[in-house]
Chains A and B, each alone.
Chain A
Amino acid sequence: MRDLDGMLSRRAILIGGVAAMAVSDLRLAEAARADNSLIYAHSVPVTHLGPDYGAFLRYPAGYEVGYVLFDRLVGFDESLKIQPQLAERWEVASDGKSTTFSLRRNALFHDGSPVNAAAVKFNIDRMLDPKRNTTNQPIWSPIAGADALDDWTVRIRTKEPYALLLNTLAHGSGAIVSPAAIEKNGDDSMALHPVGAGPYMLESFNPGQEVVLKAFASYWGGKPKLDKIVFRYVPEPSTRIAALKTGSVDLIDAVPPHLVQSIKQEAALEVLTKPGLRPMGLAMLTTRPPFDDVRVRRALNHAIPVATIAEKVFFGYAHASDSPLAFNTSGHKSAGSYAYDAKRASSLLAEAGFTRGSDGTLARNGQPFAVRLLASEGLFPGDLQTAEIAARAFEALGIKVALNKIEAAAYWDYLRVAEASVAWDIAIFGFNPSNGAGSYHLDALFHSNPPGSEKPAAWNIVRYSNPEVDRLIDEAKTTVDSAKYDGLLGKAQEIIWNDAPYVWLQVNDIISAARKEVRDVRVWPIVFTIVRDAHF
């Protein structure tokens, strides 16, 4: 017992000591608030910052810093509508093949040099070089070049009329960097020493751990509201939430849906959500029987309780798709719905020639209906759980399902392969168009692959091919008139939706959370949490 007493008194001392530290901790917290800086704990490390040579590399963290550090000719708002930024206004030529931008005259780079037409031309030329722009070529290659018409006017030429020119310029890779800084520090210097024209400039950068930005006093839009923004890498979601609760950080991203409730319980915290741009789905190889039969593909669409998945797996932070495009993608149009109806699914399969044997399994011409279902783990939100639910639902219809789970980093290798070596019949997949553009999304996933190509040119992994859809997409890509563009895309979405090359699943919400005193944080559908306008 004496030992126990001794331990008790030692514990008392320990508690006293820790309590004394707690007081100093509170003072620290107050000091942090007094200096008007925002701390954002995010889920992915930032390893380099330039728009070139691997463009921010890690998604989304690098882009989020880039959207504060750099300005662009035009910018996105939170519903991905185009807004003026370094360009005050622009005009599209009558043939649609060039756009002339008038620059604002008071914009400066962080090194004090002016953002003029020569600087913009320098940047466009740089991004057209595939050696420098390694990761975002597809959205830049339709551009032909840029001309400085006078000090404050730039004309950007495109090879054909290019509907998505403004989306490309507003994209993360459209960052305008200082030519003087490149001249001084080297062609690849933006990675560690970025010099842009955004509202905040770099104070310090510890790759993989922390980025500290400070207000740029000469910003053309006036001095920013915060003195400092700190981006701090905190990988574990529960650690980020704990840090938000203690007030040691002000903002966090990537909140898992099942942990949202614990944030909602705290009066000092606020959950920020926005439906994302990535419609999840189960890709079916449409060239391989029985998935070459649209009735089979539609049957599987009726077999899965998508609304229940949204409710139970994602706690309501997901919504059943109504189109091949997500709700916030440009040109999105509601194309219909496949109600959860197992009877309808069974009768569609019967129409397609499948009969149920005495053991309950479906078969056609003596061949059992067996599928290999490929699922990633941790690549998409709730991917493996969703695949498991789908597998059970298919089994309930009498389909034999072999579920294969693949590690996140290796998953891509199984999707984009030559048709003969596709090792799945159904695979979970979702595409996130980081320029927010519907024509780009449909082009990547549903435009026919070039004849004779073994691997898909982009992401048409289902080998979907419909000449009418190809025509609509091709026309939309070169249509600068937005009402006409929406009309073309709307028609394409309806056809693809009814052809059902995918089992359409849900669109997940992007979920961030902040302390209530933080204002004007914007969550963009492109997985980005943007602190450009944030303040206390």
Chain B
Amino acid sequence: MLRFIAVRVFRIVPIVAGVVTIIFLIFQLVPGDPAVLMAGPMATEEQIATLRHAIGLDQPIYLQYWDHLAGLFTGNFGYSLTYKGSPLGEILLRLPATLALAATAIALTICLGIPAGVLAALNRDHAADYAISFSVVALLAMPNFWLGLVMISVFSVDLGWLPSFGFAGWRSVIMPALALAARLIALIARLTRGVMIEELRKDYVRTARAKGLPFHTVVVRHVLRNVLIPTLTVIGLQTGYLLGGSIVIERLFAWPGIGDLLINAVGLRDYNLIQAITVLFTVGFLLVNLVVDILYVAANPRLRHA
């Protein structure tokens, strides 16, 4: 098991290096010069050149790349032009907000998606199933920023129940987390329903019922456990995509997280900040996948030598 984990951790390094290189090259290729953007529309060509030199953008590309890569390995993410300091400090300030949002969204997914799927499976082809399946389709079809806008309009402007933006206590997290989780809730409800229906047909259920166990005991003790394994795996894998979705949602709700930081960094071509955030997202995504894999293997020893 330890060897398995060690191998998997080791594999992360080249992937991160690859991502760093690709992002570096992409931003060398796309037009958009940070010196031009910083200097503003009033600057002369000469002043832009001075600025370009001051921030080291006039060095050859391979030198910039080498500095950048060497920096990353020593934990130095360079200098953020917009925040006038290490990008890491700014990211660490914003990280808790993004993590809180993602964690709430996952909690909502578990608390709403799984029970909805179970409920639909148990009431297959009845009113509750139809209602849930209809909601699933509706939620999957709704873009999350639109759902967010509708919620702001209803719950903040019309009803005045929830704050419309920013972070001011736990009530602020409800709408952004719901908007972020909506798609995942629907996906998980649909998946749970399918897996549950499949499991209910299996022999062990019939055996347990024949043995005299009441239906709810069979469901809770046996079926649900088997349903949870694939469901939790998918939730784990989708967590990475939640980070991507949070960029849009954070902007909509003026949530003080990393998503908006990234958008502004791209708009100003703050390379070091973009790189640092990308590396962080990549590592986060890979780590979540790793944890899911490890849990999966721990739960299913047959996979260890695969």
Contacts and interface: CB of A to CB of B under 8 A. Distances in A.
Interface of A: 1, 3-4, 18-19, 21-22, 25-26, 41, 45, 47-48, 53-54, 57-59, 130-131, 134-139, 188, 191-192, 207-209, 232-236, 238-240, 242-243, 245-246, 248, 406-410, 412-414, 416, 431-434, 444, 455-459
A25 B256 CA distance: 21
Interface stretch (B37-45, B60-68, B209-217, B293-301): B37-45
B224 interface: no
A246 B260 CA distance: 23
A202 to B, nearest CB: 16
A459 B157 contact: no
B93 to A, nearest CB: 8
Contacts of B199: none
Contact of A134 (B54, B149, B166): B54
B207 interface: no
Interface string B44-78: 11010011001000000000000000000000000
Nearest to A48: B84
Interface of B: 30-33, 36-45, 47, 50-51, 54, 81-84, 90, 119, 123, 127-128, 131, 149, 152-153, 156-157, 159-166, 171, 251-254, 256, 260-261, 263-264, 266-269
Contacts of B54: 131, 134
Given A21-B171, A134-B47, A414-B31, A246 B157 contact: yes
Given A455-B45, A457-B45, A239 B38 contact: no
Contact of B251 (A138, A236, A414): A236
A139 B83 CA distance: 25
A242 B164 contact: yes
B264 A134 contact: no
Given A191-B84, A246-B157, A432 B41 contact: yes
Contacts of A240: 165
Given A4-B128, A242-B165, A409-B266, A54 B38 contact: yes
A450 B216 CA distance: 87
A207 B254 contact: no
A45 to B, nearest CB: 6
B254 A57 contact: no
Top 9 nearest A-B pairs (CB, nearest first) are A410-B31, A410-B32, A234-B254, A409-B32, A242-B164, A413-B31, A242-B152, A22-B161, A47-B82
Contacts of A47: 82-84
A21 B161 contact: yes
B161 A25 contact: yes
A434 B54 CA distance: 24
Nearest to A135: B40
Given A242-B156, A248-B164, 8 more contacts: A21-B171, A239-B252, A239-B253, A242-B152, A242-B164, A410-B31, A413-B33, A413-B36
B83 A207 contact: yes
Contacts of B39: 134-135
Contacts of A457: 44-45
A243 to B, nearest CB: 5
Given A22-B159, A235-B260, A242-B165, A137 B44 contact: yes
Nearest to A18: B161
Contacts of B119: 3
B32 A407 contact: yes
A503 to B, nearest CB: 20
A232 B45 contact: no
Contacts of B160: 22, 25-26, 246
B17 to A, nearest CB: 27
7 contacts: A3-B123, A134-B38, A208-B264, A235-B260, A235-B263, A409-B37, A432-B41
Contacts of A137: 43-44, 47
A22 B166 CA distance: 17
A130 B264 contact: no
A409 B156 contact: no
A1 B127 contact: yes
A194 to B, nearest CB: 13
A239 B253 CA distance: 7
A234 B32 contact: no
A412 B268 CA distance: 12
A26 B254 CA distance: 21
Given A22-B160, A25-B160, A207-B90, A232 B166 contact: yes
A346 B253 CA distance: 51
A236 B268 contact: no
Nearest to B256: A209
Nearest to B39: A135
A413 B32 contact: yes
Contacts of A432: 41
A45 B42 contact: no
A236 B149 CA distance: 10
A243 B165 contact: yes
B111 to A, nearest CB: 12
Contacts of B162: 18, 21
A135 B38 contact: yes
A486 to B, nearest CB: 22
Contact of B254 (A138, A139, A191, A233): A233
Contacts of B268: 58, 409
B44 A57 contact: no
B119 to A, nearest CB: 6
Contacts of A130: 47, 50
A406 B30 CA distance: 11
B31 to A, nearest CB: 4
B50 A134 contact: yes
Given A22-B159, A207-B90, A409-B32, A134 B51 contact: yes
A134 B50 CA distance: 8
Contacts of B165: 41, 234, 239-240, 242-243, 248
B67 to A, nearest CB: 21
A248 B152 CA distance: 13
A18 B156 CA distance: 12
Tell me which of A53, A192, A235, A434 has the highest count of chain B C-beta atoms within 10 A of its own C-beta. A235
Contacts of A414: 31
A414 B32 CA distance: 9
Contacts of A136: 40, 42
Nearest to A459: B41
Contacts of A239: 152, 164-165, 252-254
Nearest to B163: A248
Contacts of B166: 232, 234
A138 B42 contact: yes
Contacts of B266: 409
Nearest to A47: B82
Given A232-B166, A409-B266, A138 B45 contact: no
Contacts of A1: 127
Contacts of A54: 38, 81, 84
A449 to B, nearest CB: 10
A240 B54 CA distance: 37
A288 to B, nearest CB: 21
Nearest to A249: B165
A434 B260 CA distance: 27
B127 A138 contact: no
A188 B54 CA distance: 15
Contact of B42 (A232, A238, A434): A434
B254 A208 contact: no
A527 to B, nearest CB: 12
